[in-house]
Amino acid sequence: MIDLKALRDNPERFKTGAQLKGVTVDVDRLLQLDASKRELGTRAEALRAEQKKLAKETGPKLGQLMGKMKSASGAEKAALEAEVESIKAAPARLKDDIQKLEAEIAAIDPELQTILLAVPLPPDNDVPRGTSEADNVELRRWAPDGWDFAKSFEENKGFAPKTHLELCESLGLVDFPRGVKIAGSRSYVLTGRGMQLHQAILRFAFDTMVNENGFTPMSVPVLVREESMVGTGFFPAGRDQTYHIEESARGGGYDMFLTGTGEVGLMGLHADEILDETTLPRKYVTVSTCFRREAGAAGKDTAGLYRIHQFDKVEQVIIDKADEQTSRAHHQSMMGYVEGLLQKLGLPYRLLQCCTGDLGVKNADMVDIECWMPGRGDVNSDGRPTGAFGETHSASRLYDYQCRRLNMRHREGGEAGKGATTFCHSLNNTVAASPRILIPILEMHQNADGSVTVPEALRGYMGSLEVIA
RNA sequence: GGAGAGGUGGCAGAGCGGUUGAAUGCGCCGGAUUCGAAAUCCGGUAUGGCCUUCGGGUCAUCGGGGGUUCGAAUCCCCCCCUCUCCGCCA
């Protein structure tokens, strides 16, 4: 959520921001509703002050009179009743007026909230402008010794590559038909070495973050309440992408949602809390199953392990005090952790600065990391793919957009300390999402004989297995 | 799933219709005392919104939302959460 005060002060900044992100939102309407609400609120508040004053002044007297009335009778009682009624009349009239104003406020508030939640965080000025992923800008790329991006896989390695689908099939790593039988389209079963490799990469990623990069390991819920989805900024925009457990429809208490990323649980941890600055930054890592409906993605990347409804992901988040330079530094280091990981895995990759149109509502800045996948991309004259980058990571910088929604603040000296509270800044980045990351691992480490060499970093998690054959 | 008990400030814990935004204790901050510290004493100590002539004013908030009332932390209704016992269970 953006700061409504900031919007009032500089509406153009938010209008431009929305435009750059390609988001349609009626900022003028929001300002108009906000002005009305404040005007009505101020009037209601003045009346309420008057009402409270009267109640305080006349309250004790009323109590006395009511007491007397109980024992009184006849003319005395009638006189007392009349006095009570006359005292009550003024505040009663005020109450009516207040209720009318409150009804007016209640009538405009839902629309105000709806628009407010939809206003995107304006992109940072140094984010390149653009309308789609075609306008994203490559920052840098890396490849292990012996790999030249200018050459084809065959020129680099001396044999034509198989796609990950072919490798999964021939090596018995994934069973797609049975996955589909059990759970429908975009489902799969990891089998044997496939499952082992999947677990190995998750463990490797998780352990690296905990043991080498100082992140606190966490297990968080993946089945969450709507508030958590709204608070983390996934709703309302991402509602269509989320599985919805309609408990209310079966007479149960409340609906729940399956999270598409561990970020929801990690960021939800400190909702409504005031964090002690001495405990910042909080660096958390979790591994969780992620669920995505992929509604509207029909036909896109349909083959194989690329776009699926359920996967597992190691996710990192950092929560720190509100400081742009600190946030920017965290962003860099979070990408650095991933680069270190990919280099240990020997996977060629590039960093892609997302343009304004590709940021999503909650990010000020986002950098995608893409791994080279020989089995993707345009096909050659033989009908074989020529390779392409595929997104495997996404590093977001959100300023206080998320923490404002979550009501997560920090203050010097902690909860009981002095000084003003400030909304925290938050960042998040993938560490490893599997099985998608298996695509470059399998395709890049395949051998001419159809086997796949296990990257050294993963062998410890696979019983020292060196080659999957 | 059944039965019961609760949710009050950073924490503990009173209040159960009328200056109660809330006693008291702890914690925290400032001061006194001290060579310094502990102990003791004194004072202070919620968050958010709106208005502001920037002095301040004002409203909301006692799990959340509605209601009753001139007036609600206190009464009523719905929801959420926690705990205890029974049942079931990885």
pLDDT in tens, A71-115: 666 676 677 677 767 777 777 777 888 888 888 888 888 889 889
Co-location of A51 and A159 in the same domain: no
Tokens of A88: 């009550």
Last residue of a domain, one of A94, A118, A142: A118
Residue A362: closest CA among A427, A266, A299, A314: A427
- Closest nucleotide to residue A252 (Cα to C1')? B79
Same domain for A204 and A347: yes
DSSP H helices, A324-463, are 324-345, 401-406, 438-444, 456-459
**Closest C1' nucleotide to A8's CA:** B50
Same-domain pairing of A318 and A284:
yes
Interatomic separation, CA of residue A139 and C1' of nucleotide B39, rounded (Å)? 64
Q: Say what the pLDDT of residue A188 is.
A: 94
What distance, in Å, lies between the first and last C-alpha atoms of chain A?
51
pLDDT (0 to 100) of residue A67: 63
In a domain, A9, yes or no: no
pTM metric for this prediction: 0.91
Q: Which of residues 442-461 of A touch strand B (CB under 7 A)?
A: none
The CATH number assigned to the domain holding A39 equals 1.10.287
- Residue ranges in A321-463 assigned as alpha helix (H): 324-345, 401-406, 438-444, 456-459
Please list the residues that pair with A128 across neighbouring strands.
none
**What is the pLDDT, as a whole number, of residue A416?**
55
The whole-number pLDDT of residue A87 equals 72
β-strand partners of A387? none
Both A279 and A414 in a single domain?
Answer: yes
A251 beta carbon to strand B: under 7 Å: no
Query: CATH number for the domain including A453?
Result: 3.30.930.10
Q: Which residues contact A290 (CB under 8 A, 6 or more apart)?
A: A222, A259, A260, A261, A262, A310, A311, A312, A313, A433
Strand B close to A254 by CB, under 7 A: yes
**Residue A94's pLDDT is what?**
79
ipTM > 0.85, yes or no: no
- The number of folded domains in chain A is 2
Q: Is there a single domain that holds both residue A351 and residue A398? A: yes
pLDDT of residue A140: 95
Final residue before a domain boundary, out of A84, A118, A152: A118
The answer to whether some atom of strand B lies closer than 7 Å to the beta carbon of A58 is yes
Residue ranges in chain A whose pLDDT is less than 50: none
A38 touches strand B (CB under 7 A): yes
- Say yes or no: A161 and A223 in one domain: yes
Would you call A394 a catalytic residue per the annotation?
Answer: yes
pLDDT score at A199: 97
Residue A296: left if φ>0, alpha if ψ -120 to 50, beta else—which one?
left
Residue nearest to nucleotide B19 (CA to C1'): A56
Domain hosting residue A450, numbered range: 133-468
Domain membership of residue A141 (yes or no) is yes
Domain closes at, from A54, A83, A118: A118
Which nt is closest to the CA of A417, judged by C1'? Answer: B28
Q: How far is CA A384 from the centre of its chain?
A: 37
Query: For position A414, what pLDDT does the model report?
Result: 58
